[in-house]
């Protein structure tokens, strides 16, 4: 005869709306509030920097028309000459030389670490590259002055290469940003799905063909971000150019000075925008003088340049990210 036993439920808890209600978690609330305050603080700090930059620059443009920065080729504040071209040329020249050095070396390093190096070797080399990025820039400046400049003078001649020159500073700035290019590019390459590589190998492609034709295009958005960040880093570099490039603007007169023998000659001394700010701000400048306010005008132009680069980078990153998602 079969017997039936009543099964007692293991849990006899009545589920109500109060039971399902969200419980206050004080710890998470405190952490969330702290993170929110950090975000607000960073936003207001940025706003404060931009406000100071624009307000002080406005004081300069009240005494000088803004277009005078681009219509003159002499930067001599003592004589009332504020042509930005000598400083702007030096900044662009150093940045172009730096990217000419950093891009091939950095991308080649990134491809090697991502596609060819073993996991053990990658775990050793990548931290070493990131350590190089932590070396003080003043050390790179003296490296440019006492190693790179003598090397260039021994190759091209002491009559052609001055002790302070744009080429030496640009090469060393390029060496300085190689870890930045390689690290960010390697992260972008390493994030490419493994399935793309395997599909390429299945079609008979070699490792080199896969790296250059499949992986690099797929990681183009991240590589573009690395390039733009590196350009911004090169434009904003201060100590290397202040030590190795020169301590005076290379003023010129169009039609009188030679284009390649003087104006665009990388073997001559020149002063970049950041180097000029460092040199002049360390002198005896009276507050709210035109010399003092001109430094903020230079800083405003640097801000506009880097902002434009970041806008362009955001455009390319968004465009190519949509293609390869």
Q: Whole-angstrom Cα distance, residue 277 to residue 321?
A: 38
Specify if 249 maps to a domain: yes
In this prediction, residue 323 carries a pLDDT of: 53
In this prediction, residue 131 carries a pLDDT of: 81
Specify if 263 maps to a domain: yes
Tell me if 297 sits within 8 A of 260, measured CB to CB.
Answer: no
Residue 157, domain CATH: 1.10.3720.10
In this prediction, residue 9 carries a pLDDT of: 55
The pLDDT tens digits for 271-281 are 999 988 888 87
- H helix or E strand, kind and range, residue 154: helix 149-156
Specify if 33 maps to a domain: no
Domain span including residue 228:
84-284+302-323
Structure tokens at 24: 């206050």
Which residue's structure tokens are 């010129």?
252
What is the C-alpha R_g of the chain?
28
Beta bridge partners, 76, equal 81
The pLDDT tens digits for 68-122 are 888 888 888 878 888 899 999 999 999 999 999 999 999 999 999 888 888 888 8
Which residue's structure tokens are 């039936």?
4
Confidence of residue 16 (pLDDT cuts 50, 70, 90): low
Number of domains in the chain: 1
């Amino acid at each position: 005869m079969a017997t039936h036993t009543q099964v007692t439920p293991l849990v006899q808890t009545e589920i109500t709306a109060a039971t399902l209600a969200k419980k206050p978690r004080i710890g998470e609330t405190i952490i969330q509030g702290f993170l929110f305050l950090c975000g607000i603080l960073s936003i207001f700090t940025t706003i404060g920097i931009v406000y100071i930059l624009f307000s002080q620059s406005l004081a300069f443009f009240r005494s000088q028309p803004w277009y005078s920065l681009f219509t003159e080729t002499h930067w001599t504040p003592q004589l009332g000459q504020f042509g930005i071209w000598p400083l702007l040329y030096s900044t662009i020249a150093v940045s172009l030389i730096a990217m000419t050095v950093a891009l091939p070396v950095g991308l080649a390093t990134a491809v090697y670490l991502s596609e060819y190096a073993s996991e053990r070797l990658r775990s050793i080399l990548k931290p070493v590259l990131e350590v190089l990025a932590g070396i003080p820039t003043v050390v790179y400046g003296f490296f440019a002055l006492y190693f790179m400049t003598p090397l260039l003078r021994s190759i091209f001649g002491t009559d052609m290469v001055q002790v302070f020159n744009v080429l030496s500073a640009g090469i060393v700035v390029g060496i300085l940003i190689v870890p930045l290019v390689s690290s960010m590019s390697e992260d972008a390459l390493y994030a490419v799905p493994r399935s793309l590589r395997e599909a390429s190998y299945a079609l008979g492609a070699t490792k080199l063909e896969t790296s250059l034709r499949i992986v690099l295009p797929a990681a183009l958005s991240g590589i573009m971000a690395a390039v733009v960040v590196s350009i911004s880093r090169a434009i904003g570099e201060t100590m290397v150019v202040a030590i190795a490039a020169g301590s005076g603007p290379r003023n010129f007169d169009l039609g009188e000075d030679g284009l390649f023998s003087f104006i665009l000659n990388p073997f001559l001394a020149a002063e970049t925008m950041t180097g000029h700010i460092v040199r002049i701000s360390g002198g005896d400048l009276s507050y709210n003088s035109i010399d003092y306010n001109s430094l903020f005008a230079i800083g405003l132009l640097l801000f506009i340049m880097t902002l434009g680069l970041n806008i362009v980078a955001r455009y390319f990153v968004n465009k190519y990210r949509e293609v390869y998602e």
